[in-house]
Chains A and B, each alone.
Chain A
Amino acid sequence: MRDMAMHIMDIAQNSIYANATAITIEVIENKDDDSYVVIVDDNGGGMSREMVSKVTDPYVTTRTTRKTGLGIPLLKLNAERTGGNFHIHSEEGKGTNVKAEFVFTHPDRLPAGDIAGIIVLLIAANPGIEFKYQHVTNKGKYALCTAEINETLEGVSISEPSVVRFLKEMIKENQQQILIS
């Protein structure tokens, strides 16, 4: 995974696979604490305590199409090698919360990548899921919620190409306002 955006897409895909109907993606950049935190929270099927303890093992996966599950181990590795850490909290039937903390100024800390791009892809490809995206930096905060967007759209599909294009631009412009570093 070359950037944060790819990791976010990957972990959010786990949430979709767990039949989540609401997914919250949060990025918190804090120069004072020297931290870059990525959180993906969902209300999907969750995991048993046993599964949670095994899930950072690359040879553990629930899918049947292949035997490896690298999404979580890779994120954990990337966070830990900056001196950061990784937490996963999950409860069966309630959902899962994945939190990766990177050290902001560490040379191995991945670049952000196209976070706006992956947020709109997730939104467009999964119109039935309520997404919340929140980006906080030392300069401010931007929050987006698909429930609000759908309200504005009054029945027009959130997957319409012109809506998707607009959302991407809107997110990008707002990210620009709070960009640090």
Chain B
Amino acid sequence: MTQVKSLADLRKIKDDLQGKMGLREKSNSPESLVQIRVAMATCGIASGAKQVMEFFMEELDKRNIQAVVTQTGCMGYCFAEPTVEITLPGQAPVVYGYVDTAKADSIIEKYIKNGELVEGIIPVNYETIQK
């Protein structure tokens, strides 16, 4: 039987990452990264926000896009969950509603890569919530 993974195995991954770190460090200030916030309140969770968040984390890594993926509370657009707020470096945040993995894919390909807006942007009078 294979050994169950433990923290000792994590050390290898850490060493690997530290090897690569030098190359990426310069671009590591948060403002220069794409920021993605997935609404993760009761409404979001019940509509599948977890799958969407996992998709963003995995796909952005696979597609070599440096981004910060975090979660936020309910923005009041429960009807349009899962909602995702995307902030491209130096731009105002944009909120997309009804995001499933297919939509998330086109957001990555069109909006995050090329700055091209995708259908499904929610409000015009949107203000970011502080908490």
Taking Cβ atoms with an 8 Å cutoff, the residues of A that contact B are 1-2, 5-6, 9-10, 13, 16-17, 63, 65-66, 69-71, 74, 114, 117-118, 121, 124-126, 148-149, 152-154, 156, 159-167, 169-170, 173-174, 177
Contact = CB atoms under 8 A, between A and B. Distances in A.
B92 to A, nearest CB: 19
B71 A174 contact: no
A130 B17 CA distance: 22
Given A10-B42, A17-B73, A156-B21, A149 B7 contact: yes
B74 interface: yes
B26 interface: no
A13 B122 CA distance: 23
Nearest to A75: B42
Given A156-B14, A156-B17, A65 B75 contact: yes
B31 interface: no
Contacts of B124: none
A167 to B, nearest CB: 8
Given A6-B50, A156-B21, A65 B61 contact: no
B36 to A, nearest CB: 10
B53 A121 contact: yes
Given A152-B14, A170-B4, 14 more contacts: A1-B42, A10-B45, A63-B73, A65-B73, A65-B75, A66-B76, A117-B54, A121-B54, A124-B57, A125-B69, A148-B7, A153-B14, A163-B10, A177-B4
Nearest to B17: A156
A125 to B, nearest CB: 5
B71 A125 contact: yes
A74 B73 contact: no
Contacts of A163: 10, 13-14, 17
A128 to B, nearest CB: 10
Nearest to A145: B7
